[in-house]
Amino acid sequence: MPAHSPRFIAGLAMLCLGFFDGVLGVAWLSIHSDLSVSLESLGWVLGAVGIGSAVGSAIFPSLVRSTAHLNLLSISLGVQALVLFAVVLSQQYWVFVLLYAIRGIANGLAHAALNAFFAQRISPQHLMNIHGGWGIGTASAGFLSGLMIAADWGWESVYLFGGALSLAAMGAVFKTRHNFHHLGVSLDSKQHDVFRMTLPIVFAVLSGALYVGLEQGIGNWISSILVAVDGASIQQAGIATGLFWGGLTLGRFTLTRIPVSTLQMLRWASALIGVILLVLILMPTELKIVAYAFLGFAMAPMSAFILTAGARLVPAGKRDLMMAIQVLSFSAGAAVIPAALGGVASVTSIAMVHIGFIGVAALLIVSIWITVKE
């Protein structure tokens, strides 16, 4: 039954977290006009949610000592729902940024709690399925935003829908939170070994920051790049964003069937990401829209396999700490890289953002391959 399936409940929570992440990229094309700010101001919003996520990840180890993982997840989803409703009422840019920072804190806590609880209890393939729920949320948010804005329903309608969805997920997690404590920790190790920051751990953490920063940067900047540089319509931008997140989601449900090791998957997926980003420069607009789906597919295995690889590098008693460090690095990457890309766009042009993507992808390839070698 769904209520007893960790993949269903965790996947539903991830779907809602992904929906919030997927709304902004397309909706910003309308929101920035209502707030009377430039298109490039998106970078500050992305920076705010990323910094908030870093704060949430940082305080997770302290909070989890007194509050159970799934209780923290439920509370975080409730805060996210309230923020989604409040965003609709915001009339000033600074209020909008502040609300996204608050949501970032809830987001960091939610990801840390969910991943810390399930990553050491299920296989990396099943964890990738759960992360596929996040992809479903982001893809559907991109599609819905483009369609609703094009139909003159307004960007507010998408945020209201996302708030209702988050409330439903909060209730589902809270009601079923006692159904999964029978799951045993699947990764064997000594409980009281000392946590040492070894070179593989450093590069596993760095790889996570680079990957999530790249993923969030691409997912949130696609629409602005296509509209400002390629002359695409808002509806086309929404389709491209949805295809990117949709490709990522499809990959998280299908790549689990490929019989390769975690390290092999990370090595070849990172290389493929770089190749596709290079080829995208040469494509006409119509092909770019489709190619973003393949880019998302190539990025699909990265986060789950990086998390699992990191968890297996430390003693079992230190995995909550390691997970918090990894999610903190995810949040730092999500804050710094998209915001830095926004700075590049403000100083030069939005067209340079794609060059930034290629630079981050190159660093990711180096970091992953050093991790694999070590």
Q: Which domains does the chain show, CATH number per domain?
A: 2-176+195-373 (1.20.1250.20)
C-alpha closest to that of 5 among 157, 173, 170: 173
pLDDT of amino acid 187: 46
Compute CA 216 distance to the chain's CA centroid, rounded to the nearest angstrom. Answer: 6
The DSSP letter of residue 198 is -
- Structure-token match 């099943």, residue found: 126
pLDDT at 342 over 90: no
- The stretch 232-246 carries a mean pLDDT of 85
Whether residue 14 has pLDDT greater than 70: yes
Q: Which of 136, 250, 170, 161 is nearest to 9 (CA)?
A: 170
Mean residue pLDDT of the chain comes to 82
4 compared with 38, residue with greater pLDDT: 38
Amino acid at 268: W
Q: Residue range 176-202: average pLDDT?
A: 62
For the segment 287-298, what is each residue's pLDDT rounded down to a tens digit? Answer: 999 999 999 999
Most confident of 41-50, 152-161, 271-280: 271-280
Q: Which two tokens stand for residue 257?
A: 């069937």
Q: What is the CA radius of gyration of the chain?
A: 19
Give the pLDDT confidence score for residue 126 in this predicted structure.
Answer: 65
Q: 82 is written with which tokens?
A: 């309230």
135 against 34, higher pLDDT: 34
Comparing CA positions, the residue from 93, 79, 74, 107 lying closest to residue 36 is 93
Residue 147 has pLDDT above 80, yes or no: yes
In the prediction, which pLDDT does 1 show? Answer: 47
- Is 101 within 8 Å of 47 (Cβ atoms)? no
Q: Render 104-170 in DSSP notation, one character per residue.
A: HHHHHHHHHHHHHHHTTTS-HHHHHHHHHHHHHHHHHHHHHHHHHHHTT--HHHHHHHHHHHHHHHH
Amino acid at 337: I
| Single-letter amino acid code for the residue at 284 | P
Q: Please, which pLDDT band fits residue 44 given cuts at 50, 70 and 90? A: confident
Best-predicted range by mean pLDDT (173-182, 273-282, 296-305, 342-351): 273-282
Tokens coding 90? 């915001």
Question: Across the chain, which distance is largest between two alpha carbons, in Å?
Answer: 59
**Over 50: is that where the pLDDT of 30 sits?**
yes
Residue 30 to residue 119: CA distance in whole angstroms = 38
Helix (H) or strand (E) segment spanning residue 312: none
Q: What is the pLDDT of residue 21?
A: 84
Looking at per-residue pLDDT, the higher value among 210 and 339 belongs to 210
Residue 275: its pLDDT value, please? 94
Percent residues over pLDDT 90 in the chain: 21
Window from 104-113, 249-258, 343-352 with minimum mean pLDDT: 249-258
pLDDT at 142: 78
For the record, the structure tokens of 364 come out as 């990711």
Is residue 190 predicted with pLDDT exceeding 50?
A: no
> How many C-beta atoms surround the C-beta of residue 36 within 10 A?
9
Q: Which tokens hold the place of 170?
A: 């909060």
Q: How far apart are CA 204 and CA 280, in angstroms?
A: 27
Q: Quick one: pLDDT at residue 195? A: 60
- Identify which of 237, 243, 211, 220 has the alpha carbon closest to the alpha carbon of residue 49: 220
- Tell me what pLDDT residue 188 has: 45
Average the pLDDT over 124-133 and give the result: 68
Q: Is 300 helix (H, G, I), strand (E, B) or coil?
A: coil
- Using the predicted structure, report yes or no on whether residue 116 has a pLDDT greater than 80: no
Write down the pLDDT at residue 128: 67
- pLDDT digit string, tens, across residues 193-232: 556 777 878 888 899 999 989 998 898 888 889 988 888 8
3-state secondary structure 215-274: HHHHHHHHHHHHHHCCCCCHHHHHHHHHHHHHHHHHHHHHHHHCCCCHHHHHHHHHHHHH
Share of the chain above pLDDT 70, in %: 86
Distance of alpha carbon 116 from the chain centroid: 16
Supply the pLDDT for residue 172. 87
pLDDT in the model for residue 373 = 67
What pLDDT, on the 0 to 100 scale, is given for residue 58? 81
